[in-house]
Each structure stands twice: as C-alpha cells, then as structure tokens.
Amino acid sequence: MWLFLAFVAVPLIEIALFIQVGGLIGLWPTLLIVVVTAILGTALVRREGLRALTDVQSSFSRLQDPTRPLAHGAMILFSGALLLTPGFFTDACGFALLIPAVRDAVMRFVSSRIKVQRFEMGGQGPRTAQGGPQTERYRPGPREDDVIEGDYTEVPPSKRPNHPGSGWTKH
C-alpha cells in the first residue's frame, strides 16, 4: 500500500513543484535547474560512492562488521537514482541522502524496525538436505583422518622455460 501511495504522490508533488517554480522563474531557468542538479548530483554521488566503497573495503580488511558502509553505499546508490530523476522533490531527497548524518538517521530508523533472529560470521560449513547446518562444526582445511593421494615429479632446478616469460614470474 505504501509503495502505491509513493508512486502516486511523488509524481503529483513533482508536477505541482514544476508548475509553481516554472510560474515564478519561467520555463528555461526551471529546465536549467533540473539539468544542473542532475550533473551536480552525479558528481557528488560518484565522490560519496567512492568513499563508501573505501569504507567497505577497509571494514573487510579489518574484519569488522560491514553493515554500516554497505547500508551507506545502498543509500548513495538510491540517492543517485533520485538525483537523475527530473524533479525538485526527488532532487531534495537525493541531496539529503548524500549527507552522512541523514544516512545515519535513516539507518537508525530502519534498524529500529528490523529484528535480527540470527547472525553468524565465518565460513559456511556443510549443510543438511533441509538447508540447516550439520551438527559437526565446519573446520576449513584437511582433518587428521583425511588422506590425500597424488603423484609428483621433481623438476631439477637447472631446467629453465623455453620462452622469455611475461615478467610476472621469476624465470
């Protein structure tokens, strides 16, 4: 129901704002404002998106919870869609989502309405046919009772490749 109201209300608000602003400043200045906000918004979305990507990468490298940077990245992506949509209301919402404090407030509001039942970090272990985890804990790598068979041939250190190499290896 809320989605239907948004699809009806947002175009009506945009049409009303176009009529009001166009009546005050004229057609061409109104169209110029719409084009300039789209260009400016694209540049700001790119900058904030790169910052969010850096935050996601650093949270992964530090093994921290990536929820906040991922949520910010999703809101920046949504902001870009709003800024590319012609209109004053969508531009105002898009520019507001580019402000980190507004994104934090939206994230707090949404997370207060979400209840997490279960959260696990780490590798996905073996699963049962029903999709749940098996009773035995998953341990990466071979276990003591694993037997790995294979054949090998020793290569003498004096043997060199018959091509000059790509420069990426130590030949």
Q: Are 82 and 97 in contact (CB under 8 A)?
A: yes
Q: Are 38 and 84 in contact (CB under 8 A)?
A: yes
Q: What is the DSSP letter of 40?
A: H
d(CA 33, CA 66): 37
Strands, E assignment, 30-167: none
- Computed on alpha carbons and rounded to an integer, the radius of gyration of the chain in Å comes to 27
Q: Picking from 33-47, 49-63, 118-132, 144-158, which range would have the lowest pLDDT averaged per residue?
A: 118-132
pLDDT digits (tens, 9 = 90+) for 52-64: 999 999 998 888 8
Q: Please give the angle made by the CA atoms of 165, 168 and 171, to the nearest 5 degrees.
A: 45
pLDDT digits (tens, 9 = 90+) for 62-79: 888 888 999 999 999 999
| Residue 105 pLDDT level (bands cut at 50, 70, 90) | very high
pLDDT digits (tens, 9 = 90+) for 107-123: 999 988 888 777 666 55
Q: Which two tokens stand for residue 40?
A: 């400016």
Query: CA dihedral defined by 128, 134, 139, 143, rounded to 10 degrees?
Result: -90
